[in-house]
């Protein structure tokens, strides 16, 4: 499909990261249970992936479940895990048809066994796809990722594979879950909250940030396009003048 009006093809963000927030408040506003908001949020994911594919975005990281989210009521956590598994089962044929490659970051072994199996099945089945790479952040926490990275660095040093004097920001990046992906250029958060909530703290050092007021289930393809238009108006300076 042709690019939406006003979007320049030479300045598409390579990597967009999204904090998909506001599912619970969206449901509550209509007098429904929170889980209904999560279900509607899954449909918004499909629209977001499609919009990224339309624009030729290479990587889309979606914050789907944080390490802190395990503290939510057991019933909500269980419902989210069931929804994740169903989402993966239902989406696989669409991902294959739309050339989407699935990847995941986080402490994936925390997930229920059946979720892990479905996740790995989808990752495997889409591994040769060449469209957008959708990276699900699951049981993800940036501080936990950095701790895991430090452990991996220390192991390399103690085994004699790495000299501590050789540790640079690039070397640290290579020890994070995101080592195969470039840093996000654009970070979008819905529901008006202006915080990172332990998401990609290291990687978003120079990401442009767009905060949308609407709740995640109301996210439309046009919201992705508009966020990219806003991004294209920014002057990225990386500390230079
Ligand atoms: C985001 O929506 C989805 C997850 C964190 C899993 P929330 O569930 O945080 O919804 P609000 O922010 O409470 O409205
Ligand atoms: C961040 O949203 C996590 C996800 C979107 C998965 P939260 O709703 O958990 O974050 P806080 O509690 O508002 O900071
Ligand atoms: Mg929230």
Contact 153, 123 (CB under 8 A): no
Q: Is 21 a catalytic residue?
A: yes
Query: b/e map of 133-164 (b: 16 or more CB within 10 Å)?
Result: bbbbbbbbbbebbbeebeebbeebeeeeebee
Looking at the predicted structure, is the pLDDT value of residue 1 above 80?
no
The residue among 2, 3, 119, 133 whose CA lies nearest residue 62 is: 133
pLDDT, residue 3, reads 80
Closest-lying ligand 1 atom to the alpha carbon of residue 28: 14
Ligand 2, atom 14, lies closest to the CA of: 197
Ligand 2, atom 1, lies closest to the CA of: 197
The residue among 228, 234, 230, 237 whose CA lies nearest residue 60 is: 228
Ligand 1 centroid, distance to 127 Cα (angstroms): 29
Closest-lying ligand 2 atom to the alpha carbon of residue 68: 9
pLDDT, residue 5, reads 82
What six digits make up the tokens of 166? 């050789």
**Contacts from 7-11 at CB under 8 Å and sequence distance 24+?**
7/55, 7/225, 7/228, 7/229, 7/232, 8/232, 9/56, 11/231, 11/232
Q: pLDDT for 65-95, tens place per residue?
A: 999 999 999 999 999 999 999 999 999 999 9
pLDDT, residue 2, reads 73
- The reply to whether ligand 1 has any atom less than 6 angstroms from the CB of 13 is no
> Could you tell which of 18, 19, 20, 24 is best to mutate to test the pocket of ligand 1, judged by most ligand atoms within 8 Å of the CB?
24
pLDDT, residue 6, reads 92
Ligand 3 centroid, distance to 224 Cα (angstroms): 19
Q: pLDDT for 19-65, tens place per residue?
A: 999 999 999 999 999 999 999 999 999 999 999 999 999 999 999 99
Identify the residue whose tokens are 């989402």: 87
Secondary element (H or E) of residue 209 = strand 208-211
Ligand 1 centroid, distance to 103 Cα (angstroms): 22
Give the pairing type, strands 186-189 and 133-140.
Answer: unpaired
Query: b/e map of 94-106 (b: 16 or more CB within 10 Å)?
Result: ebeebebbbbbbb
- The reply to whether ligand 1 has any atom less than 6 angstroms from the CB of 121 is no
Q: Is 43 a catalytic residue?
A: no
Complete domains list, the chain, with CATH: 11-141+182-232 (3.40.1180.10)
Q: Which ligand is nearest to the CA of 41?
A: 1
Give the pairing type, strands 15-19 and 101-105.
Answer: unpaired
Three-state DSSP at 187 gives strand
Ligand 1 centroid, distance to 99 Cα (angstroms): 28
Ligand 2, atom 2, lies closest to the CA of: 21
């Amino acid at each position: 499909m042709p690019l939406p009006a006003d979007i320049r093809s030479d300045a598409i963000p390579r990597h967009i990261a999204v904090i998909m927030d506001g599912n619970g408040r969206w449901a509550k506003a209509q007098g429904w249970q929170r889980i209904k908001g999560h279900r509607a949020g899954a449909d918004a994911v499909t629209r977001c992936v499609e919009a990224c594919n339309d624009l030729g975005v290479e990587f889309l990281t979606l914050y789907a479940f944080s390490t802190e989210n395990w503290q939510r009521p057991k019933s909500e956590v269980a419902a989210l895990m069931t929804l994740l598994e169903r989402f993966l089962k239902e989406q696989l044929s669409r991902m294959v048809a739309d050339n989407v490659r699935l990847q995941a970051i986080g402490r994936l072994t925390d997930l229920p066994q059946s979720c892990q199996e479905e996740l790995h099945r989808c990752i495997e089945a889409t591994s040769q796809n060449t469209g957008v790479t959708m990276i699900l952040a699951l049981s993800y926490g940036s501080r936990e990722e950095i701790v895991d990275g430090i452990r991996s660095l220390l192991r390399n040093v103690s085994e004699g594979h790495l000299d501590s004097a050789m540790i640079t920001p690039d070397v640290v990046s290579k020890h994070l879950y995101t080592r195969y992906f470039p840093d996000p250029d654009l970070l979008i958060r819905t529901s008006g909250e202006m915080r990172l909530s332990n998401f990609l703290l290291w990687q978003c050092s120079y990401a442009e940030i767009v905060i949308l007021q609407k709740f995640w289930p109301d996210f439309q393809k046009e919201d992705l396009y508009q966020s990219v238009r806003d991004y294209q108006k920014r002057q990225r300076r990386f500390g230079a003048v």
